[in-house]
Amino acid sequence: MSLPDMRQLEDAALRAWEHAFEPDPASREKFYLTVAYPYPSGAMHVGHGRTYIVPDVIARFWRMRGRQVLYPMAFHVTGAPVIGISRRIARGDEKAIHLYRDLYRVPQETLERFTDPLEIVRHFSEEYRRVMTACGLSIDWRRRFTTVDPQYSKFIEWQWLHLQAGGHVNKGAHPVRFCPQCDNPVGDHDLLEGDKAEILKFTLVMFEWDDALIPTATLRPETIYGVTNLWVNPNVTYVKARVDGVPWVVSREAAEKLALQDHEVTVIAEIPGTSLIDQVVSHPLCGTVPILPATFVDPAMASGVVMSVPAHAPFDYIALRDLQAEGRYLAISPVALIRVPGYGEFPAKDAVERAGIRDQTDPAMEALTQEVYSAEFSSGILFERYGGEPVRQARESVAALMTEKFHSTVMYEFDTRPVVCRCGGQVFVRILHDQWFLQYSDPAWKSQVSDHLAQMSLVPPEVRTEFERTVGWLKDWACTRRVGLGTRLPWDPDWLIEPLSDSTIYMAYYTIAHHLKQYSPEELTPEVFDYLFLKKGSPAHPGKERLDEMRREFEYWYPYDYRFSAKDLISNHLTFQLFHHAAIFSARNMPRGMVVFGMGLLNGAKMSSSKGNVFLLEDAISEFGADTVRMFLVGSAEPWQDFDWRNELVHSTRKQIERFWNMVQESFSAGEDTTDADRWLLSRLQQHIEKTTEALERFQTRQALQEAFYAIDSDLKWYRRRLPAGMQGGSAYRALGQIWARLMAPVIPFTCERLWTDSGGEGLVSFAPWPVADPGKVDPDLEMAEELLLRTLEDIDSIRRVLQITPSSLTLCVAPSWKMAIFSAVATAKDRNTVLREIMKDDQMRKRGKEAMETTKQCITLVHRLPPAFVEQYLNGRVKEMEIFRNARDFLERECAIPVRVVDALESRHPRAATALPLKPAIIIE
């Protein structure tokens, strides 16, 4: 017997399942699970496979347990990425074309249509559906939609009107990364370089020079009191520019940047850096100071002019020292203003000298700057004459003072540069106006979410703290975009709703998605959705009865039971959706639980399409078969752990399935006899059923597989060993087949569907009742007897291995009853330290003298070493060693291939017989 052709088996099952998983409300209890829908911009790889297969295993499990299970799927196509992709393909970008043509194997004629972004998502969502089906996912495809379907857009509009009415949407200005060449904001994935760059908020400190202002950009405005000079780079050309009507002197780069940050900028004249040197400037908070030359000043950094605080900034200190070493500017000395524990009067000087810095080009300067800055920030205090505030407060208050009274303003700049757009152009910070924000910072909204979070079931439990932290940390979210696919903001249609924000409550949409498709978008007014989802009002809609029916469907399915997603979405999507649910739905429709996944690796390295390190799910299925892929993905790690796809391991999974197939097929023709081995096998099976069930209830798919497959498999090994000679398998084996096929069905449904049919099972295994453990079939005494045999056999083996003789006979000497008395005295003793004394109080024992003492000591060790349950059970007295070994004599002889005798230790004169202990018979090999 061998596994039939995989393809054939899969095709048959797929035909049988075609409309099988399309649940409507029923009288039984429901189980509704959802997974974050995919963004179909590329082919599915095995990592995606797990994301959808694990929930499918759970769905199949609950379905077999009699629940009405809903597992829907849709496609998230809103956003900008596909627009970029299509543009790149249209432009003939080689990297993009290589990825799509060679790695994702998109046919040429399809690829040509990819110049339309919608074609990309259309193509891949179809591919996703095809591959998901091939994986055996029990998805209700009637409910499929995409996020640009007009009906869905109506739903999003409705959602946003509610958010707006609830006061959760606000307008404001917002700094973003911006590419002037593309004339667009850029996200991480649009960047060639600098994707880690953060936007920092600098204060521009305005020094007066003639009729102009010279702005110096700083993160530490409070140090103004210690300024001794400014720095400009003598090799740089500066410009005089009219900024909002006032002449400023800044670097040429800075002038361009300021224009993007809410300023009217007109360049009037160029000023070589050299002609600024030795000029004198002034600021009310520090008086008059000169401008000095320094090559470390970067014109591309903020304003291109730096104020110098040599007492507290290592760069400033060393630049000044370098100049003074040449005998220049000797009159300038550092001015201290902050006291920091661990440093002297001039922390910058201390740090530079401690580190042994030679000059301003030393590479250690960056780290040193960081060190001094953080020391001063965390524990520095300003001198009394400057207000005596801690640095962390003074920073804010001095900045506020300067803004209010001394013309200071804010300038945004990246912390690391350069930042380069995919188009090759330089990226700048730009302030966008009229930006809409979701007010996640709202404390009332936050507390609504955290209250609910406390009641949710989170798997694994460790993620709870991360969720809690995220709720606390979330700030306002810029929720509208200018470019991309998506729904327009209903009250401000120049804006599109941002993609993470339009995918927060669609789990509710699924519940009636297949009905909504039949409505024209115009019919789906906010009043209709209010009625459907919130049970509010009574819209004058024709066909009210249908609406009522849909509302009942929604109420049947909602809230969802579990949402599945990878852990990288905790800090945005998974938390966002809680906010949105809280804002819109009633308390009884709030989400019940979430399961957070780990990430996927391929041969130990992170999977990444752009690096080409992916294994396409479709290839995996055609190479190994869908069940193999499923079983591997489910069994290699628990869902929340990272998993690693390795072809060689997948290969052996395939063999396991073949073995499983053979064993189950064999079981159908097993005999009717019931031996002890059969009773034992059945007894063990009940526990495997129970443990598999518990594991799946807890989403432990790997654990479930351990029990449902490997544990039963290894029981069968022992079972075969224990069967009387010549017997092929008895009644238990026969009974096992159907049960086993059902236990494995959630994981390898294709194989099990066929096995179920072959076993004479009715209907589909996908809907067959999940096995239930029968406590009446559990026989602990029998299990213990087998355990004892196994342990004894191991001891025999271990002895034979070290013995170098060829044995001719084996004698097992069972411990005499007085030793059992000692054993149970030891096992039940409250205090093991005094048990010896207690036992020796007994006259009978005292008569045995040393022997009794020795036995007691050995029993103490033994009791300690045996599993407690094992010991406890032995004490009930139903396990008769002599009987067990005598009954198993044939078996032992077969195993050892020598004659075996079983005697009471008292009957043997062999010196070794005296070593017999309860549960550890003396073994004499001769």
* Residue 920 in contact with RNA, rule: CB under 7 A: yes
- Name the nearest CA neighbour of 314 among 282, 355, 277, 278: 355
- Helix, strand, or coil (residue 714): helix
Q: Are 704 and 692 in contact (CB under 8 A)?
A: yes
* Piece in contact with RNA (CB under 7 A), picked from 422-430, 487-495, 740-748, 915-923: 915-923
* Piece in contact with RNA (CB under 7 A), picked from 12-20, 183-191, 324-332, 523-531: 183-191
Q: Which of 332, 401, 478, 821 binds RNA (CB under 7 A)?
A: 478
Cβ neighbours of 263 (radius 10 Å): 18
* Residue 808 in contact with RNA, rule: CB under 7 A: no
Among residues 14 and 898, whose Cβ is nearest to RNA?
A: 898
* Residue 684 in contact with RNA, rule: CB under 7 A: no
* Residue 868 in contact with RNA, rule: CB under 7 A: yes
Map residues 515-554 to x or -, x wherever contact with RNA holds by CB under 7 A. ----------------------------------------
Least distance between RNA and beta carbon 123 (Å): 15
| Chain residues 291-350 in contact with RNA, contact rule CB under 7 A | none
| Chain residues 702-761 in contact with RNA, contact rule CB under 7 A | 702, 706, 710, 713-714, 717, 720
* Residue 477 in contact with RNA, rule: CB under 7 A: yes
Q: Which of 64, 70, 135, 186 binds RNA (CB under 7 A)?
A: 186
| Chain residues 159-178 in contact with RNA, contact rule CB under 7 A | 174, 176-177
Among residues 717 and 850, whose Cβ is nearest to RNA?
A: 717
Map residues 255-274 to x or -, x wherever contact with RNA holds by CB under 7 A. --------------------
Among residues 177 and 563, whose Cβ is nearest to RNA?
A: 177
Q: Which of 198, 384, 494, 672 binds RNA (CB under 7 A)?
A: 198
What tokens appear for 262 in the block?
Answer: 């809410």
* Residue 185 in contact with RNA, rule: CB under 7 A: yes
* Piece in contact with RNA (CB under 7 A), picked from 24-32, 47-55, 381-389, 913-921: 913-921
Q: What is the distance between the alpha carbons of residues 37 and 48, in angstroms, rounded to a whole number?
A: 11
Least distance between RNA and beta carbon 232 (Å): 30
Among residues 393 and 647, whose Cβ is nearest to RNA?
A: 647
- Helix, strand, or coil (residue 882): helix
Among residues 277 and 727, whose Cβ is nearest to RNA?
A: 727
* Residue 819 in contact with RNA, rule: CB under 7 A: no
Among residues 112 and 907, whose Cβ is nearest to RNA?
A: 907
Least distance between RNA and beta carbon 499 (Å): 3
Q: Which of 328, 473, 612, 851 binds RNA (CB under 7 A)?
A: 473
CA angle 460, 465, 471 (to 5 degrees): 120
Q: Which of 288, 465, 586, 817 binds RNA (CB under 7 A)?
A: 465
Q: Are 782 and 679 in contact (CB under 8 A)?
A: yes
Among residues 369 and 571, whose Cβ is nearest to RNA?
A: 571
CA angle 504, 507, 509 (to 5 degrees): 100
Sheet-wide strand order for 922-925: 900-904, 810-814, 922-925
Q: Are 230 and 281 in contact (CB under 8 A)?
A: yes
Q: Are 223 and 391 in contact (CB under 8 A)?
A: no
Question: What DSSP line would sit under 220-241, residue for residue?
Answer: -GGGGGG--EEEE-TTSEEEEE
* Residue 6 in contact with RNA, rule: CB under 7 A: no
* Residue 924 in contact with RNA, rule: CB under 7 A: yes
| Chain residues 402-441 in contact with RNA, contact rule CB under 7 A | 440
Q: Are 907 and 808 in contact (CB under 8 A)?
A: no
Which DSSP state fits 5? Answer: P
Residues in the chain: 926
Q: What is the dihedral of CA 726, 730, 734, 740, to 10 degrees?
A: -90
* Residue 569 in contact with RNA, rule: CB under 7 A: yes
Q: Are 197 and 414 in contact (CB under 8 A)?
A: yes
Q: Which of 534, 799, 875, 898 binds RNA (CB under 7 A)?
A: 799
Least distance between RNA and beta carbon 635 (Å): 8
Q: Which of 293, 484, 639, 749 binds RNA (CB under 7 A)?
A: 484
Least distance between RNA and beta carbon 82 (Å): 8
Among residues 349 and 580, whose Cβ is nearest to RNA?
A: 580
Map residues 606-625 to x or -, x wherever contact with RNA holds by CB under 7 A. x-------------------
- Helix, strand, or coil (residue 185): strand
Q: Which amino acid is at 779?
A: D
* Residue 568 in contact with RNA, rule: CB under 7 A: yes
Least distance between RNA and beta carbon 38 (Å): 8
Residue 292 CA to its chain's centroid (Å): 53
Distances from the Cα of 600 to the Cαs of 49, 88, 608, 637, in angstroms? 10, 28, 10, 10
* Residue 823 in contact with RNA, rule: CB under 7 A: no
| Chain residues 582-601 in contact with RNA, contact rule CB under 7 A | 599
Q: Which amino acid is at 184?
A: N
| Chain residues 236-255 in contact with RNA, contact rule CB under 7 A | none
Q: Which of 804, 806, 808, 844 binds RNA (CB under 7 A)?
A: 804
Distances from the Cα of 53 to the Cαs of 139, 394, 415, 494, 665, in angstroms? 11, 55, 42, 40, 26
* Residue 491 in contact with RNA, rule: CB under 7 A: no
Q: What is the distance between the alpha carbons of residues 386 and 587, in angstroms, rounded to a whole number?
A: 53
* Residue 573 in contact with RNA, rule: CB under 7 A: yes
Q: Which of 79, 334, 347, 737 binds RNA (CB under 7 A)?
A: 79
Binding-site size for RNA (CB under 7 A) equals: 91
Q: What is the distance between the alpha carbons of residues 629 and 46, in angstroms, rounded to a whole number?
A: 8
Q: What is the distance between the alpha carbons of residues 614 and 355, in angstroms, rounded to a whole number?
A: 47
- Maximum separation of any 2 CA atoms in the chain, in Å: 118
Of the CA atoms within 13 Å of residue 876, those in its CB half-sphere come to 9
As a whole number of Å, the end-to-end CA separation of the chain is 44
Q: Which of 462, 548, 854, 883 binds RNA (CB under 7 A)?
A: 462
Of the CA atoms within 13 Å of residue 414, those in its CB half-sphere come to 20
Q: What is the distance between the alpha carbons of residues 856 and 466, in angstroms, rounded to a whole number?
A: 53
* Residue 76 in contact with RNA, rule: CB under 7 A: yes
Residues 6+ apart with CB under 8 A from 218: 202, 203, 205, 306, 307
Cβ neighbours of 1 (radius 10 Å): 11
Among residues 473 and 491, whose Cβ is nearest to RNA?
A: 473
Which DSSP state fits 723? Answer: S
Which DSSP state fits 907? Answer: G
Distances from the Cα of 691 to the Cαs of 479, 702, 749, in angstroms? 46, 12, 20
CA angle 278, 280, 284 (to 5 degrees): 150
Q: Which of 303, 426, 656, 693 binds RNA (CB under 7 A)?
A: 656
Map residues 439-458 to x or -, x wherever contact with RNA holds by CB under 7 A. -x------------------
Among residues 231 and 445, whose Cβ is nearest to RNA?
A: 445
Least distance between RNA and beta carbon 80 (Å): 4
Q: Which of 658, 666, 758, 838 binds RNA (CB under 7 A)?
A: 658
Q: Which of 64, 169, 474, 826 binds RNA (CB under 7 A)?
A: 474
* Residue 7 in contact with RNA, rule: CB under 7 A: no
Q: Which of 30, 87, 101, 912 binds RNA (CB under 7 A)?
A: 912
Q: What is the distance between the alpha carbons of residues 322 and 31, in angstroms, rounded to a whole number?
A: 73
Q: Which of 34, 223, 628, 792 binds RNA (CB under 7 A)?
A: 792
Which contiguous run of DSSP H or E holds residue 435?
strand 428-438
* Residue 223 in contact with RNA, rule: CB under 7 A: no
* Residue 797 in contact with RNA, rule: CB under 7 A: yes
Phi and psi, residue 811, nearest 5°: -120, 130
